[in-house]
A and B are shown apart, each in its own frame.
Chain A
Amino acid sequence: MVIINIDGQDYQAREGQNILQACLSLGLNLPYFCWHPAMGSIGACRQCAVVQFQNAEDERGRIVMACMTPVTDGARFSLGGDKASTFRRNIVESLMLNHPHDCPVCAEGGECHLQDMTVMVGHRDRRYRGRKNTHRNQYLGPLIHHEMNRCITCYRCTRYYRDYAGGHDLAAMAAHDHIYFGRHTDGVLENEFAGNLVEVCPTGVFTDKTLVQHYTRKWDLQSAPSVCVGCAVGCNTMPGERYGKLKRIHNRFNAEVNGYFLCDRGRFGAGFVNSPQRLDYAAARNADGSYDAIQPDAALKLAAELLQPDNKLAGIGSPRASLESNFLLQQLVGAGNCSPGFSALDHALIPYTLQLLQQSPARIASLQDIESADAVLVLGEDVTNTAPRIALALRQAVRSRAFELAAELKLEPWQDAAVRNLAQNQRSPLDSYLSAESKLDDIARHCIRCNPEQIADHANAIVSALNGGTADSDSASDIARSLLAARRPLIVSGSGAQSAAVLEAAAAIVNALHRVNPATMISLSVPECNSLGAALLSSDVSPSIAALAERAVKGDIDTLVILENDLTRRCSPQTLALLYDNISNIIALDALDTATVSEAALVLPCATFADSEGTLVSSEGRAQRYFPVISTTLDRQPGWYWLLQLGRAARRDDFAELLHFDAVSAACAAHYGQLAAISAAAPLHDFVSHGLKVPRQPHRYSGRTAMRANVSVQEPRQTQDGESPLAYSMEGLNRDQGGLLPFVWSPGWNSNQAVHKFQSEAGGPLRGGSAGVRLLDETTDSSGSPAAKPGLPETGQWLLVPRYRIFGSDELSVRSEVIAELAGEPLLELNAADAASLGLGQDDALCIEGAAAIAVRINDSLPGGCIGFSAGYEATRSLVAGSRVAVSKAVDWASSRSQIISSDGGSRHV
């Protein structure tokens, strides 16, 4: 810490920061636009001007940009003086010359950084008499709305999109005051992190199209701290609600996890919460297969019959349901009768992944750690499509080299343009072995394409090179060399390749590296938001779904409880038939209508992440709590709540004492050593700050009294939240709550830039701590090897490899309209030579094992003999990764095609 003097007063500031950061960290309101804590300084907007004095005698000083000026001991500045304030007012006045006065109809209004800064500098009267420049807007796809006239040319959009996120289809065009930020022509933005533009743009140029369609001002949004359910990374989100509908997802800052940015699956994939396919009421099946809605108590009565003590019970949990829900299900049916609900392959792979993480001596990398890596090896995991936010972090990791070079020249890392110009295309090594091209290829040094088995072989070659042996290929020895040379090497892999051998090889590399470098890091991806949680709850006695099906055939199951799981995505039609044909009493709990729900005798409508609480364990092993932003409506209840009720209906004593969510969570923690810390993931429901709960509504939340006036002029009592430390209210303080922060707002800071008011220093972690607790930091010594690989069909010569899509492969997000629009058709991909050998052209289709035809795409990045299939699509559900199949060219594809495309998802409605 050093001393700087601002307007005559001495302050402590941290060396290495710039003056803008220092001022913001000190709580001083210094306006800015082009600076961004994650992207550094370029000095373009000139908004953050302060006056710097040469020495104690200097009285005039000169204007400097705070964001470009490093903190130095004894430096003297004026922030509030006339010279600096006039200059900053002039900047806003200049920016407003061409800015339309359309705040009333602008989607940014009320959370606009430009509005905030305009007020902050005191600009009011317009002197400019000229005409305003106007621009034409572009269609940028279903996610983002473009309104160029509002642009203030801060360059944040392209710096974010191109420099930070690696996008190529958004650029600054033209020059002088004609600068235009857009695409060459209209079209869907290609980068999977484009949605962050909404938060990066300080005004209303890039806005959330899905919000604009049913618009609500920020001050009218009720928000809560939440966790994304789009994948296993566990990004922190801030869903916003109004009138019982989920309006949008914003990023919730977490220095160790997602920082300032989300992926588009996470931001736009939560629309399923508002889906017409949400289940509203409990339902009982009639003899003819139709359903009748029934009252909750009738449903529980029915359940009590199905759950009678002498009934043989079984359960199927879910990697997308909370720990608490899964735990209660296990308690209800007994651990040995409860499947974690994985697919056949994942039933072996996910626990194995967990085991590798538990045994790994290396640190499990958080996203923040990933960004700090200076050599990365990716093995078999197409993270852009399976764990997208990791891909964005890897883009930052390869910049480590740039920061090293900068340090040699004593350049501060926040000197963004200078660091980039210095490093140009020099990057820290990122090497990847994948079964096809990936979006990270542009930053990769070696991109080696091979099938999962070969990946494992290559990886083993790297291990021997690491151990001092000779590698059989140049790339392997190259990679081994750079991993050994790195200060913070990182190995990225996961269950995506659906291969235990790949995972095992990744762990072997980590172990070999860790022996020479204790700073070695590992990151293993798993598919769903609570895959790791489900694995943590499972054990050797946990049956797979197929095992349950076998028991069902033997008549060993009377009643099956299926928790938030669409089994059609997990197992073959044959297995399903065994279950459904042999178990007459199925109780299904879910939020959405699925094919599985339609097999149940009793259906219980669940809440989603948006209207319930729960704990999820991310692939980092971080247990994080999400809280409801919407109070439950209709007969929907959180999964854990239904399960409690079921337990009570079944007269289970151990359920009687669980009165609150907190009690369930604590019971779960008590039951599993590895989960002991989860209670610390969030404060208890009776937490109060300054005598009050943490409010979900900002101070300016308006119209509450009028919201229901069309129904009744009497304002209903605000919903009480007995389960969380948050209140459905404006009353209370949202300060210093760390992981509990429901929204960011601070006087004068209506935009999301207000987040610095909640950070320990501008850009630093939140005061009150980062959300979540890491569970897997202790190395456990449970030696073990991958569970037996389920027998894979070997009926032909073509190896099936999964190809994931950020939009389309994930179950929940694809049920949001906009994501479905982007998901596209399922495809089978193979290289040109293989296609030719099968007589296939670009417009043809293939049938696998006689199943329905799927369109073919020729993709030369696939190794020979492999067929890539779009994972997670209904049409590809019967395909099993790693199996070898026989294929045939589809006949009459062209004529049958339109018909196939138009057939709907096939799920029946309750």
Chain B
Amino acid sequence: MNPELINTLSEQELTAIDAELAHVPCKSAAAIDALKIVQEYRGWVSDDSLHAIARHLEMSADELEGIATFYNLVFRRPVGEQVILLCNSVSCWIKGCDKLQRTISRQLGIEMGETTTDKRYTLLPVSCLGDCDHAPAMMIGKTLHHDLTPESIVRLLAGD
């Protein structure tokens, strides 16, 4: 591995990761936190980032990969600026999340798991968002939207 190719972690990232390290008995225990911290700054976890984190936590990239790919909210591929997490669990399904998905797909030209060509949005399914009394629900970035209709979705995505 050419050392120049390996990204290094930023000051802020390192500080945040080291803060997590203070609470754990061995470095690799902070793996998930570290992946999330880096993703917070970079949007996703590239191979380079993965190597940098693995080195910092004194674990192998292979082990870290095993952890990263287990969790659905660690993105190992580039995502858009905003990630749309569309709840497709049962209450939202009853209330029409499939239709919402088709609306989003039509409007943005992407299917589940895809990113728009302008890199603005990535559409992903998510487990029940705990907003079932206001189903259907979804998150865009960190914001929860609920009581959605195809019309309100169109407005949301267009106006955003």
Contacts and interface: CB of A to CB of B under 8 A. Distances in A.
Q: Taking the complex as a whole, does A directly touch B, i.e. does some CB pair lie under 8 Å apart?
A: yes
Interface of A: 162, 168-175, 180, 183-185, 424-425
Nearest to B65: A184
Contacts of A169: 60, 62
Nearest to A182: B62
Contact of A173 (B26, B47, B60, B66): B66
Contacts of B65: 171, 173, 184
B59 A175 contact: no
Given A175-B70, A425-B25, A168 B50 contact: no
Given A174-B69, A174-B70, A183 B25 contact: no
B46 to A, nearest CB: 12
Interface of B: 25-26, 47, 50, 59-66, 69-70, 72
B61 A425 contact: no
B66 A172 contact: yes
Contacts of A172: 66
Contacts of A175: 69-70, 72
A172 B67 CA distance: 8
A183 B62 contact: yes
A49 B118 CA distance: 53
B154 to A, nearest CB: 33
B26 A168 contact: no
Contact of A184 (B25, B62, B72): B62
Contact of A168 (B47, B62, B70, B72): B62
Contacts of A170: 62
B63 A171 contact: yes
A33 B62 CA distance: 24
A-B pairs, 3 with minimum CB distance? A171-B66, A168-B60, A184-B62
Most buried by B among A173, A175, A424: A173
22 contacts: A168-B59, A168-B63, A169-B62, A171-B60, A171-B62, A171-B63, A171-B65, A173-B65, A173-B70, A174-B69, A174-B70, A175-B69, A175-B70, A180-B69, A183-B62, A184-B60, A184-B62, A184-B64, A184-B65, A424-B25, A425-B25, A425-B26
B81 to A, nearest CB: 26
Contacts of B69: 173-175, 180
A170 B62 CA distance: 6
A539 to B, nearest CB: 50
A184 B67 CA distance: 11
Contacts of B47: 185
B70 A184 contact: no
A540 to B, nearest CB: 52
A801 B65 CA distance: 38
B12 to A, nearest CB: 26
Contacts of B25: 424-425
A184 B61 CA distance: 6
Nearest to B59: A168
Nearest to B72: A175
A42 B72 CA distance: 25
Contacts of A162: 63
Contacts of B50: 184
Contacts of A425: 25-26
A92 B50 CA distance: 36
A323 to B, nearest CB: 44
Nearest to A187: B62
A173 B65 CA distance: 7
A271 to B, nearest CB: 28
B58 to A, nearest CB: 10
Contacts of A174: 69-70
A626 to B, nearest CB: 37
A184 B76 CA distance: 12
A206 to B, nearest CB: 15
Nearest to B63: A171
A732 B60 CA distance: 50
A162 B66 CA distance: 12
A184 B62 CA distance: 5
Contacts of A424: 25-26
Given A185-B47, A185-B61, A425-B26, 20 more contacts: A162-B63, A168-B59, A168-B60, A168-B62, A169-B60, A169-B62, A170-B62, A171-B60, A171-B63, A171-B65, A171-B66, A172-B66, A174-B69, A175-B72, A183-B62, A184-B50, A184-B61, A184-B62, A184-B65, A425-B25
Nearest to B50: A184
A425 B61 CA distance: 20
A193 B69 CA distance: 26
A185 B65 CA distance: 10
A186 B47 CA distance: 13
Contacts of B59: 168
B40 to A, nearest CB: 22
A169 B64 CA distance: 10
A183 B60 CA distance: 10
B160 to A, nearest CB: 31
Nearest to A425: B26
Contacts of B64: 184
B2 to A, nearest CB: 13
A173 B71 CA distance: 10
A169 B65 CA distance: 10
Nearest to A170: B62
A174 B47 CA distance: 16
Nearest to A171: B66
B21 to A, nearest CB: 15
A174 B66 CA distance: 6
A307 B64 CA distance: 67
Nearest to A181: B66
A425 B72 CA distance: 28
B32 to A, nearest CB: 14
A175 B76 CA distance: 14
A173 B61 CA distance: 12
A184 B47 CA distance: 9
B34 to A, nearest CB: 16
A420 to B, nearest CB: 13
Nearest to A162: B63
A603 B66 CA distance: 56
B45 to A, nearest CB: 12
A329 B65 CA distance: 57
A172 B60 CA distance: 13
A184 B69 CA distance: 11
Contacts of A173: 65-66, 69-70
Contacts of B63: 162, 168, 171
Nearest to B60: A168
Nearest to A169: B62
A294 to B, nearest CB: 55
A497 B135 CA distance: 71
A183 B25 CA distance: 26
A185 B47 CA distance: 10
A172 B69 CA distance: 9
A175 B65 CA distance: 12
Nearest to A173: B69
B106 to A, nearest CB: 27
A183 B54 CA distance: 14
A173 B64 CA distance: 9
B153 to A, nearest CB: 28
Contacts of A183: 62
Most buried by A among B60, B63, B65, B66: B66
Contacts of B70: 173-175
A144 to B, nearest CB: 15
A424 B72 CA distance: 26
A168 B66 CA distance: 11
Most buried by B among A168, A170, A184: A184
B64 to A, nearest CB: 8
Contacts of B26: 424-425
A498 to B, nearest CB: 33
A162 B59 CA distance: 12
Nearest to B58: A442
Contacts of A171: 60, 62-63, 65-66
Contacts of A168: 59-60, 62-63
B102 to A, nearest CB: 23
